């Protein structure tokens, strides 16, 4: 069996968008029967929330949709950029902020992409940060993540011939 495809979701603090993306993708991969083929993680460009569970508001919104968000926040590392096959950032700021971590020879630019490139049912360019907003912002983020994660899974299946 080939090594699992390694997927990393990145946002600013790793307590809202990227852990939710990790949870949505994990549920989708498991329900599709590809659990052994795709390894999923998340990280933040900043480390100030390291070790914390995702934001309670995001956990509540995700729980209502059947997602259990239990990963712990951590900061992205140079090894993450080297070792993952696809790195999906939630917005352009995250894309810019991840660059200093890229110490790979030749760079990792080709595998760092905006998450919303994989959305088919929404025309958003970025996943907005819901941290300072209300409950509706968390729901909107989950709508985008569910849409985009389906596209990500299709992309991986096409690349790997699954």
**Any idea which residues carry the catalytic annotation?**
11, 17, 129
Contact between 101 and 80 (Cβ < 8 Å): yes
107: left (phi over 0), alpha (psi -120 to 50) or beta: left
Q: Which of these, 79, 86, 76, lies nearest to 5 by C-alpha position?
A: 86
Closest by alpha carbon to 70, among 22, 7, 138?
A: 22
DSSP lists the bridge partners of residue 44 as 11, 75
């Amino acid at each position: 069996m080939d090594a699992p495809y390694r997927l990393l979701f990145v946002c600013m603090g790793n307590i809202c968008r990227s852990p939710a993306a990790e949870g949505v993708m994990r549920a989708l991969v498991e329900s599709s029967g590809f659990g052994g083929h795709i390894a999923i993680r998340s990280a933040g460009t900043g480390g100030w929330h390291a070790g914390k569970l995702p934001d309670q508001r995001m956990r509540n919104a995700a729980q209502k949709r059947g997602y259990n968000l239990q990963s712990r926040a951590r900061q992205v590392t140079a090894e993450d950029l080297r070792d993952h096959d696809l790195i999906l950032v939630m917005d352009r700021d995250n894309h810019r902020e991840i660059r200093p971590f890229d110490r790979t020879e030749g760079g990792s630019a080709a595998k760092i992409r905006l998450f919303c490139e994989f959305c088919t049912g929404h025309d958003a360019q970025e996943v907005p940060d819901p941290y300072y907003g209300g409950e509706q912002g968390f729901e909107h983020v989950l709508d985008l993540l569910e849409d985009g994660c389906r596209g990500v899974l299709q992309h991986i299946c096409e690349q790997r011939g699954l």
